[in-house]
Structure 1
Amino acid sequence: MAAPVRRLCHVAFHVPAGQPLARDLQRFFGFRPLAVREADGWRQLALRSGDAVFLVNEGAGPGEPLYSLDPHHAVPGATNLCFDVADVGAAARALAALGCNVQVPPVTVQDAQGAATYAVVGSPAGNLSLTLLERPGFCGPFLPGFRPVSSVPGPGWVTHVDHLTLACPRSSSPKIMRWFHDCLGFHHLPLSPGEDPELGLEVAAGSGRGGLRLTALQAPTGSAVPTLVLAESLPGSLRGRDQVEQFLAQNGGPGLQHVGLYTPNIMEATERVAGAGGQLLTPPEAYYQQPGKEKQILAAGHEPRLLARHGVLLDGDEGKFLLQVFTKSLFAEDTFFLELIQRQGATGFGQGNIRALWQSVQEHAARVCEA
């Protein structure tokens, strides 16, 4: 591996001036301002919930924003992942030797709180760039060049990023997986016994509905990096574009489709998000009437009526369960959404839930088209 990553530092977004992403993250999802930088035509606001940090780069300055790269992209979205590495200079040289595009060579930024060195490299996932960061001894709240923002403590709905999901064109996952393995040290994480990493896990959504092919990647042992999930659509949908194809079309190619945020209490988190006006996807009504679903929910210690009211999905068995709820896109375009996830011993992503999500998104898209 050329540049083994050690920790996810933040997820960065690029949005036009006046786009309400920063406001919505605070209002609907309990994020709180951490630090801000306003210079060179950019307003860069870091927001935090638990260990999850989002950096919203708003505007379009004449130069590049600190710690990221302006993709000059037509639509807003999540365009950068920042990872901690041991030695940025060595990592950039090793990646360049492998033929990677080092878009921003190593740069050192310093202020009264200390220094940080970063470089930005391109990825095989469309407009998604990767920032490699080294900040030994830095003692500020975020990064050099930013000033702290005073804010009241957040409600604590989210503790950390559970996973990152990239939407990919069909048959591209093996190539993307090899890049992350060779360049950053990720390795295949089977989602089912005996899974072929070249094929991933196929989750068919039913006759004529298509489905998903998922390939999960895990960072090097000992790192604190969320699971990376590659998602492709399966052929067979009879309703036009599915949500992966819709993302690829509106994003202009592959990219970061959603971030899974871990919450220790998904019922409370979902109630707070909905109460604040956040828009959540509603599972199909038949989901909670599936044979054995009520028994499964009760076995996990939950009330079926409450899960149905909040739109929370549950999957699992043998004492290991997974609960999930998904938001609608945070932008006018279908280029990014959030997932709230709670794990009760389960480590996968819930095949039954994936099918239900797929169907609910497809039904929502069909209603929008008919309106």
Structure 2
Amino acid sequence: MAAPVRRLCHIAFHVPVGLPFAQDLQRFFGFQPLAVREADGWRQLALRSGDAVFLVNEGAGLGEPLYGLDPHHGIPSATNLCFDVADADAAARALAALGCSVPVPPVSVRDEQGAAIYAVVTSPAGNLSLTLLERTGFSGPFLPGFSPVPSAPGPCWFSHVDHLTLACNPSSSPKLMHWFHDCLGFHHLPLSPGEDPELGLEVAAGSGLGGLRLTALQGPVGSAVPTLVLAESLPRATSGQDQVEQFLARNRGPGLQHVGLYTPSIKEATEGVAGAGGQLLTPPEAYYQQPGKVEQILAAGHEPNLLAQQGVLLDGDRGKFLLQVFTKSLFAEDTFFLELIQRQGATGFGQGNIRALWQSVQEQAARVQETCKGPKLDAAACPGALESSA
């Protein structure tokens, strides 16, 4: 591994001026402002929920935003993952020696609270760049160059980032897996017994309906890096696009499709998000009517009717369970979304839940597509997920 990463520092988003993405994170998901920087045509606002930090880069300056890279990408999206490394200079040199592009060579930033060194490398995952950050000795709330933003304590529904899911081109997962292994020290995490790393886990949606291929990667041993999940579509006989293919089309290529936010109480988090106006996906009704599902929910210590009302998916066995809720898209382009996740001993992602998510997203996409067919409707009538004007 050329540049082993130690932990995820933040996830950066690039949005146009006026898009209320930062406000939506605060209003609907309980994120609190942490630090801000306004310079060189950029407004950069860092928001936090527990250890999960999102950096919203708004604008289009002449230069690069601090700690990142202007993706020159016309679609609002998650554009950068920032990782802590032991030595940013050495990491950049090692990656360059492997043939990686380093559009932002090591830069030192200092203010009265300390210093940091960072470099930015491109990744093979579409418009997603990676920042390698060294900030030993910095004592501020975020990073040098940012001013603290006073804020009241938030609800803290989420404690940290559980996983990151990349939507990938068909058959590209093996290449991406090797890149993240060789460059950053990630290694294969089997999602099923005896899983072939080159094939991943195939979750079929039904006969002729395609499905998903998932390949999970863990960070280097001893790191505190979220699981990285590579998702690509399986071939199918039916026409139209599934949600991975829709993401690739609307995002104009591969990229970060969703972030899984860990919550110690999915009941509280779901109630809070829904009560604040956040829009969540509704699972298929048949999900809770599957044979044994009620018994499974009861065995996990939950009330079946309550989970059904909240749209919470539950999977697992042998005393280890996984609970998940998915939001609708946070952008009008119907691309990036969030996942709320609680683990009761489970380490995987639940094949039953994956199928249910697949079906619910497909049904939501069909509803949106049907709405947009009306002759008098324009793009504003076909929102992605959050009614930001609410």
Instruction: Name the TM-score, length of structure 2 as normaliser.
Output: 0.94
RMSD, aligned CA: 0.7
Deviation at 1:294, TM superposition (A): 0.5
Q: What's the counterpart of residue 144 of structure 2?
A: 144
Letter in 1 for 2:98: L
Q: What's the counterpart of residue 46 of structure 1?
A: 46
Distance in 1 (alpha carbons) for counterparts of 2:76 and 2:364 = 21
Letter in 2 for 1:332: A
Deviates more, 1:232-241 or 1:328-337: 232-241
Deviation at 1:101, TM superposition (A): 0.3
Deviation at 1:367, TM superposition (A): 1.3
Distance in 1 (alpha carbons) for counterparts of 2:281 and 2:208 = 22
CA shift digits 1:200-225 (9 cap, x unpaired): 00001112321100000011110000
Letter in 1 for 2:63: G
- In the alignment, is residue 122 of structure 1 matched against residue 87 of structure 2? no
Deviation at 1:335, TM superposition (A): 2.1
Q: What's the counterpart of residue 231 of structure 1?
A: 231
1:1-371 correspondence to structure 2 within 5 Å: 1-236=1-236, 238=238, 240-371=240-371
Distance in 1 (alpha carbons) for counterparts of 2:293 and 2:322 = 13
Distance in 2 (alpha carbons) for counterparts of 1:236 and 1:15 = 34
Gaps of 5+ in 2: 372-390
CA shift digits 1:212-259 (9 cap, x unpaired): 000000111100000000000111163511110000001111110000
SS of equivalent to 2:161: strand
Letter in 2 for 1:166: L
Distance in 2 (alpha carbons) for counterparts of 1:267 and 1:208 = 36
Equivalent pairs counted in the alignment come to 371
Deviation at 1:334, TM superposition (A): 2.1
SS of equivalent to 1:74: coil
Letter in 1 for 2:358: W
Deviation at 1:154, TM superposition (A): 1.0
Deviation at 1:175, TM superposition (A): 0.2
Distance in 1 (alpha carbons) for counterparts of 2:359 and 2:208 = 11
CA shift digits 1:347-368 (9 cap, x unpaired): 0001000000000010111111
SS of equivalent to 2:2: coil
Distance in 1 (alpha carbons) for counterparts of 2:20 and 2:309 = 28
CA shift digits 1:86-122 (9 cap, x unpaired): 0010000000000000010000000000000000000
Q: What's the counterpart of residue 379 of structure 2?
A: none
Deviates more, 1:235-244 or 1:122-131: 235-244
Distance in 1 (alpha carbons) for counterparts of 2:33 and 2:90 = 33
CA shift digits 1:281-322 (9 cap, x unpaired): 000010000111001000000001000000000000010000
Instruction: Name the TM-score, length of structure 1 as normaliser.
Output: 0.99
Summarize the Cα distance change of 1:167–1:237 in structure 2 as closer, same or farther, 3 Å threshold: farther
Distance in 2 (alpha carbons) for counterparts of 1:124 and 1:359 = 29
SS of equivalent to 1:108: strand
Summarize the Cα distance change of 1:296–1:104 in structure 2 as closer, same or farther, 3 Å threshold: same
Gaps of 5+ in 1: none
**Displaced runs of 4+ in structure 1, greater than 2 A?**
none
Letter in 2 for 1:298: L
SS of equivalent to 2:176: helix
